[in-house]
Structure 1
C-alpha cells in the first residue's frame, strides 16, 4: 500500500488538539506518515510530542474581534508564520493538510493552498470560528460536527461528519479512576471540567460549595493551568488537577455526573459516554457565543441541564445538581437515543477523498 503524508495543524486550546489525536490511529491504519505544525510555545507542543509525532513550531498571532494594541503587531506574526509554514510544506511535500482550527492554523492553510496541497478542515462548534472563516476560501472541504452547521458553509464545501472521539475514551476504567483520586467509598463522583485553560466562574462556584457538595459526592476538579489551590490539597473527597491527558478516560468513566464548559469536543465526549451533565457555557460577552449555541442544542435535545455563566452561583449549582441526580435516568435515556456521530472514520474518508482527488488532477 502506498504511503501518504499528512500535515495536521491545530492549537491554542486542547479542543483544537485532542480531536487530531483521535484521528491518528485510523490515519496510521490507512498508511499515513503524520507530521504536525503548531505554535512555537503553544500547549499543543507538549501534547503532540508525547504522542511521538514530529512537531514543527511556527510563529502565530491571535485574531481578535476587539481593539488591542497587539492587533497591530500580530498580523506580522501571522505573515512570518505563513513563510515558515510554506518552507515546511515545501520541504515535507504532504499529500494533504488537515486543520482543526485555532489561530496557528491560518498561515498553515494559506501556505498549503499556495502550494496547491488539498486542505481539509474541521469545525467543532455550531458556527465556524474566526480562524475557520478565514481558512474557508483556502480549503477543499470543511467538516462539521452539527448538521445545522451546513447552512453556514459556502460553495458546497461542508460535510457533516460528526466530531472525532478518541477510542481510548471508551476503554477507561472506573476502578482505575477512583484509584488515581484515592476514593475508597461508594459516594457518587462529580467530575468538573473547566477546560484546558480553566474557568474562574466554575472554580469559584465549586470551591465555595465544597462543604455542601462533599456531603454527597466525591469530586474530581480539572481547574486549568495555574489554578490549583493549595488550601484544598488534603481535603478528603476532593482532588484537583490543572490538566489531565492519559488519566482522562479513567476519570471520565469514574464520573457519575459531569459539570463542564460547553466546548463542542468535550460535550460530544460526555454524550458518547452517556454521563448526566450540567453545562456552563462561556458567556457571549467574552466569546463569540459558540458555547451558548452548543449548550442550547444539547438542552433542547434533553441531553443536558444548562446554567448560564452569569447565573452561576453556589445556590444555583446545588439546586441544578439535585435536579440532575433526581432525573439522571431520563437524561441517560435521551443520550442513548441520540444520533450523534463519532466522526473519526467519516473525517478520514474525507481526507482520503482529498488525497485521491489530488492524484487524479
Structure 2
C-alpha cells in the first residue's frame, strides 16, 4: 500500500509580509518533496486571494477580522466573524487532514491554526518581525516549532521552541546581475542610483520628501533616482513632476530583483519582508519606519538592522529636513556603503525557506508515523 504524501496546510495573509514568506516556504517544501500536497487558507479580499493562486496553490477561503484600533462599528461583528472563521477552519482541517499546519501571521492564521491544534495537528509558526505580532504571540504557546527572523523576537515567544532562521525570500533576488539590471532599467553602468520606494500603495511621507527635495537629489549629474510612488499617488505626482533624464518615475515594481541589483542605496519603509530582501541582496539602506503600524514594529526592525551596521534609521519626523543630507553622505562614502552591504549579508539567511521547509516536513513525517 502506497504511503500517502505529506499534507501541509499554510495560513497567513493580509499583507505581502505574511503572504510571500508562506509562498516561499511552500515552494521550498515542494522542491524538497515534489509529492507533497500544499493547501493554503486565507481571506477572499486580501493579497493572498491573488498571490496564492498565481503561485500555483489552491486557496480555501476563511472569514477573518481583527479588532479595529479606533472606535468602529466593525468591532461589533468581530466575535461573529471569529466564530465563523473557526467553524470554517474546523471543517477545512477535517476535510484535508493536514499532517502539520503552518502559520505566517495575519488574522486568518488564528482560527486556522487553532482549529488544527484542536484536532491534534502539530503547528509551526514563522514570525517576520523583531516584534512578534499578536496572532503569532498567541499561537506560539500552542506551536511545536517557532521560526524567527530577528533574535529580538525571542522575548515574545517560548524561547525553548524558537529558532532564528530568517525570513524566506525569493531566490531570484540573489541571482540578478547588476549590469543587466541597469541595462533593463536604462540606467548607466557608472551612475550612482538611489531607489526610493514606499510599497505597492505608496507612502505619502516618502513621496512628499522626494518631491520636496527632488531638485537637490538630482543636482549631481551622475546621480539617478528610481522613484516608486505607489498606485495611490502615481497619477497626481506624474502630473506635477516634470520629466528628467536622471529620474525614473514608476507606479509599481514587479521585478524587485532588478531594482535591488541596480541600486547603490535604497530609501524605504522597514517592513519585515523589505528588511529581509535588503539583507539577502546586501543593499545599503536608509530605513524610514512607518509610525502607523501596530506596536511600532517597523522601528524595531530598523533598529535591529542599524545595530548590526546594515542600515541607517531616519525617523519620519526628520525625513523632510535630513533626507538629502543622509542620502548624499552615504553616496559620498563608498566605504560606509560597502560596510553596510557586508553587514546586511552577514545578517541574511538565504537558506531560511529551506530550513523552515525541512522542519515542516519533519513535523509532518513524525505526525504520520504516530
Q: How does the TM-score come out when normalised to structure 1?
A: 0.90
> In 2, are the aligned partners of 1:60 and 1:104 still within 8 Å (CA)?
yes
Partner of 1:149: 153
User: Would the alpha carbon gap of residues 158 and 359 (structure 1) be closer, same or farther in structure 2, given more than 3 Å must change?
Assistant: same
How far apart are residue 253 of structure 1 and its match? Answer: 0.8
In 1, the alpha carbon distance for the partners of 2:22 and 2:186 equals: 31
In 1, the alpha carbon distance for the partners of 2:20 and 2:361 equals: 20
Q: Which moved more, 1:270-279 or 1:182-191?
A: 182-191
How far apart are residue 292 of structure 1 and its match? Answer: 0.9
SS at match of 2:294: coil
> In 1, are the aligned partners of 2:309 and 2:339 still within 8 Å (CA)?
no
In 1, the alpha carbon distance for the partners of 2:161 and 2:102 equals: 14
Partner of 2:267: 259
How far apart are residue 180 of structure 1 and its match? Answer: 4.6
**Alignment partner of 1:303 is 2:310:** yes
Provide structure 2 residue ranges, at least 5 long, that are not aligned to the other structure: none
Partner of 1:3: 5
User: Would the alpha carbon gap of residues 14 and 134 (structure 1) be closer, same or farther in structure 2, given more than 3 Å must change?
Assistant: same
Partner of 1:213: 217
**Alignment partner of 1:275 is 2:298:** no
How far apart are residue 301 of structure 1 and its match? Answer: 1.5
User: Would the alpha carbon gap of residues 77 and 197 (structure 1) be closer, same or farther in structure 2, given more than 3 Å must change?
Assistant: farther
Partner of 1:203: 207
Root-mean-square deviation (CA), in Å?
2.3
**Alignment partner of 1:47 is 2:47:** no
User: Would the alpha carbon gap of residues 292 and 51 (structure 1) be closer, same or farther in structure 2, given more than 3 Å must change?
Assistant: same
Figure out how many residues of one structure are paired with residues of the other and give that number: 358
In 1, the alpha carbon distance for the partners of 2:250 and 2:120 equals: 43
> In 2, are the aligned partners of 1:21 and 1:166 still within 8 Å (CA)?
no
Partner of 2:22: 20
Partner of 1:87: 91
SS at match of 2:10: strand
User: Can you list the C-alpha shifts for 1:293-325, whole angstroms capped at 9, x where unaligned?
Assistant: 111121122111111112211x31001001111
User: Would the alpha carbon gap of residues 233 and 346 (structure 1) be closer, same or farther in structure 2, given more than 3 Å must change?
Assistant: farther
State which of 37, 42, 53 in structure 2 corresponds to 1:38.
42
Q: How does the TM-score come out when normalised to structure 2?
A: 0.88
User: Would the alpha carbon gap of residues 286 and 36 (structure 1) be closer, same or farther in structure 2, given more than 3 Å must change?
Assistant: closer
User: Can you list the C-alpha shifts for 1:187-227, whole angstroms capped at 9, x where unaligned?
Assistant: 32211221234221111111222222233432223333322
